[in-house]
Structure 1
């Protein structure tokens, strides 16, 4: 029977939302078990302890009996561990007290298959759900709940509210940390506390009664064993009797206990009945009294509501007054900043124009420098070739010197030989004279021999004279060559002096370049500072934007609030006027009787009312002041819009400044490149100067050599020279073609730069159009603001009309109040007014605190304003630095133009020098050939002389 009754209960319980939620942690009974097996797995406590471990992993791992095998004691042990963990988690981590009765572990352990058992398991699951929803992994568990069906989700949500929000089940202890509690929060808290106290006292009494009953039963059971011990010697039938007696005594004790309980319950119920009757009588009396008080309070509340509404409106206006005053002062301070920003914008525009002009100039210079750099490579190659040729020329010069020395030695030997020949000729002449003297005495044949000898000597003399003349010519030529060599040595000395002078100039130029590098580094640092200052400006602009947006939102909210208050005042005035007239007619009849008694008390109340009226007048004055401040606010809003326009303009200028800074950085990079090229060009100029000097020397030497070679030119040498010249011209043509191609590439680059400039111009035009659109939008916003101002004016007029109507109503109420007030009602009014005064004082204190906070905010804003002024000063300094940088850039441009001109002249000189060097090379080769020929002729002459001597 029990199983038949429990099975539908079990099915209902297992399909409940709490069980479906628990199943999200893992399958019960292996996932394939029946409802009964799943229920047993729940009741055993092993699965629920694992769930608690997932919720609170930090919990102390107590030993859980995993194999229960339907043992009640083991089951109770597992469940008691779980209940302790839940209780500690609520108290320690969640800071909550479990006010509901804890799940009875004995019922679940001993009678799990009953309705009471399922109810206790439900309690356990409820508390587990509260832990899961409020733990650290709550997001994960909530996601699991959301994955369930809609109905189960709704049911689980209801259970969550039951555990978390219901103070009767779980009591929150976090209110103990709060220093100040509001009255709205304290009243329900006290009610809950009182109910919980009452329940605890009832439970205490019930537990004390059960303790008394259990102690009596224990005493009875103590006496029974003594009696059984006395009768035990009688044998086995005596033992049976004692057992039956013990059983009967136990039943007797149970019956007595039940009788006592029933008696106590009867007494309690009779006492409760009496208490209820007394409470009923008291409640009836209180009801009558409360009805009378309610009638009195209604009349008082009606009169007080009007004052409250007016007070609230005036308070709001007073709050607005302070806000508006602070805003007015802030906007006045900002007006000064606008003028400075205007001047700043104009300065930036001028700077922008100057930078654009400098950019165009620098681009032109860049093109020139690129062309020069292309030509420089060619010049370097030519320079290397010239150096090689010079080295060859020097080698040839050394060879020529050696040959000249040899020729001088030969000349000396020839002079010595000439002297010897002269001596020999004299000796021969003397011999001839002697022979002539002897021949006069000799015969005719002897005369013929002397004549022959004379002829031979005369012929030798003629030959020797011819040789002497040729040798003299060669000596003169050699002497002229030696003179030219001495002239070249003097030129070399001059060239060395000039080289020293040029090296000094080089050092000076290097120093100047170092200074220029330092100035460039300074300009780079200044540009970095400008970038930082620009970032600060952007931050300040963003702050101004946010402030303006907040102010607009506040104004819109205030406008909506005013509209709502106007509508509510109209409704109240319409409803209250009709209702009051009817109530006044009824109350006038009742109040005529109590006029005589209340006249003395009326005087006191009138005095208090005068004070209240004075307060009202003060509030009205504040309201008028608020209206004035609102007008000022409208004016300041217009000024704010103008400021926003200026801010947009400043943003655009900031963007332009960024572009200019980028261009400036690009130009600085280009300047560095130009300086490098200038350094290389200066080195080339020095090299060219040295080459020019060497070329001039070579030219002079060539002229001298040409004079000597003109007599020895040959047609074959000319042909070879022409061929060499043709080859060199062809190589020069190829180099020129390469240079032309490089020039074309540079021209293409310039065309690309022009295209990019055109794109920048189009972007500038687009930005100007965007500016015009933004100005149009601002005009639209101004028109909308104007409309809002007109609406505010109409609302203010409506407010004034409502004030006039409220004044009329007040006059009527004054006339009626003289008749309305009774003694008891007046005392209550006094109390009520005192409460209201307290409340108003509290509100005034709150307002004072808000005022202090606003003052602190204003002081912070003033500090920010000062910091902004400082930033502006820094920006001015940075603009001055920019101007200085621009001047330096202009100077650099001028220097670059001068360097360009010098480069052009140097290139022309290089070309001329190349031609000269080529001619010199040709002349040198010719000289070499002629010298070789001269050397051969001399050898032949010497050979002939030696043969003639022999």
Structure 2
């Protein structure tokens, strides 16, 4: 199972997948060879990568490679991915000391391989690398993703941070941080290199006295390293010469100090002799006790300074959490704005839905109107057909045919009778003619009625055609309206479904945003409460520390005043010693002639030697007190300048 935050073993298995020969890597291979550079070249084959040392057999070359590799990784995050890594910087000393402390070295290696993983998952070829990861066992995949999630918590996009802060302060801080790491790596490399040179020089001097230091075999094969070693040797020689000069100067100063001490010892011996030695010893004991108390107070003051430094660090962390709370508030305000935007979209969608419903109602009313027009046209056509049928056109045609047949019959009958009788009679002829005229008259009238009926039928037929044309037009318009209505209904249904889906999504998003907002507000309240509690505790601690520092400062000032009075007393004693010294010279002249006082002088000399020893101690104490006073208050350096005359 994967550990919390991911483990190093899964990352090592993933790094082994980049090797073409399928060999199993050892931890020493990652440190002493250039496998990691090859992996980085496969992930991001840019030409700006520096060429590392081929073999890393010593700590100096390993430090050089590790610093180059780490700087390249951070540059890749900043330039390619526009991100910055908030993980702690790589500890080079712990990284290369894998033989002495394997756990600390593996911790730094774990952090380094996590940076490899972040670049592989976010680069242009991420699909290829992710597909390669999927071929690994499931437990390894889960642990690798846990490593990436841990890394993602410490990644910050520079453009987003600059947009929130309105400047490039974060990028500048990252660049300054990287520059500091470069300087740190250069210093560590130089230190390790010089230590290696010194060790080899000492070994060479022990084995061959008088011979020059022999550099390591790994550096003999590289001319640049040989030149660097020569320059280091020259620098060491220069430093040795400077050290000798400083030593000679220190010897001179020591001799001068010894003479001054002898003078002070003689003065103190004379002062002790003048003051009978007893009272001065008591004062010196009290002064020594006071000095010890001051030393204890100074140590307490240093501890308080350390506590103040710790509190300042906590204040810095509090400022960081405060800025984080401000960022969370900004994100919360952004979420509120997004929620308002989605609510506006929802209201606009509802307005569009109402407009579509109004259009549907208008279309339905238009369809009803067209249906009424179609029914009216059908009614008019039916009435025209009924009128044509009621006109009796068929009966009139049949009647005309009957009358024409009757006329033909009468004509044939008249011609046949005339031929049979030899000549028609006047009465029969008159009747026949009269009947013929009536029939003809009826025929003419019938034809007129027929023509009138035909004209009426044609008029009705034209009206029926017009009605049919209007009906067909109305039918087509109705069909078009129905087709449009169907399309409108379908589009309306689709739009309604889309709106419902969108409303559902927006509702879910609003619920999610509300939940996130409530969680964010809850987290903010908890963070604010925790920060207020931490701030309150910090303020209380700072207040107590400040009060203690004030009390200590007051006590130190009182002690300084006491020391000033003691120093003034010592100064007066020295003046008295000068006077006594003059008297002593006169006594010496008289004592030279007095041989009987030789034994007494020997005793005085021994006492003088004892007082000289005590004077040395007193001188050291005065010098330490002077340095303590200057450290406590630089203004004392001007006020007590006369101490240097001692």
Q: Do both share a fold (TM > 0.5)?
A: no
TM bucket, shorter chain: 0.3 to 0.5
TM-score (norm 1): 0.25
Q: Could you tell me the TM-score, scaled by structure 2's length?
A: 0.35
